[in-house]
Amino acid sequence: MLSDMENIEEIREQQRVAERAAAAPYVDYPPTPFWYMPAMGLWAFAATVLFTRPHTSTAVRIVGELVLLAAVLTLVWWQRKVRGVWPTGKAPQEIRRVMVNFVVGVLVVIGIVLGTRALANAWIAAAVAFVIVTVGVAWYEQAYARASERVRERLA
């Protein structure tokens, strides 16, 4: 018969196992390929040009929007294929902090790009978007990897 302390330890271990399983989709994934960051920057460049430059043709705008949408859907498909599973549920605390910083960063980038567009032409704003998004996504990937490592260490 197990003592109360042994029961408590067994319950704690079961909780750690359950938490590791819940965290796995967030922390067990292949490394991000080298092309990912500049691809995100290129998407931001194209979106900035499309949405901040006047177009003479509605058809050009619609085709551009469809191309950007297709790129996003392709990225989602690719990530699901590479990761094998899509994270759901509550992310571990360490990763939630990084995700919140990412959302705040996206809002800051939008503000900077729109501010640049107000002061300069769409091409300059698009170049700024490319640089900031490429660097920002690289930062996010590194911060996410560090947070994932902290989660793995905590749950080891």
For the chain, give every domain's residue range: 4-155
Pick the range with the lowest mean pLDDT from 81-95, 103-117, 130-144.
Answer: 81-95
Contact, 13 vs 87, CB < 8 A? no
The pLDDT assigned to 55 comes to: 74
Question: Counting Cβ atoms within 10 Å, is residue 144 exposed (0-12), middle (13-18) or buried (19+)?
Answer: buried
Instruction: Identify the residue whose tokens are 């290129």.
Output: 42
The whole-angstrom separation of Cα 42 and Cα 31 is: 20
**What is the number of alpha carbons within 13 Å of residue 112 lying toward its C-beta?**
17
Q: Give me the count of residues in the chain.
A: 156
The tens digit of pLDDT for each residue in 45-79 reads 999 999 998 877 889 899 999 999 999 999 989 98
Q: Is 67 helix (H, G, I), strand (E, B) or coil?
A: helix
- Where is pLDDT greater, at 56 or 150? 150
* Band of pLDDT at residue 2, cut at 50, 70 and 90: low
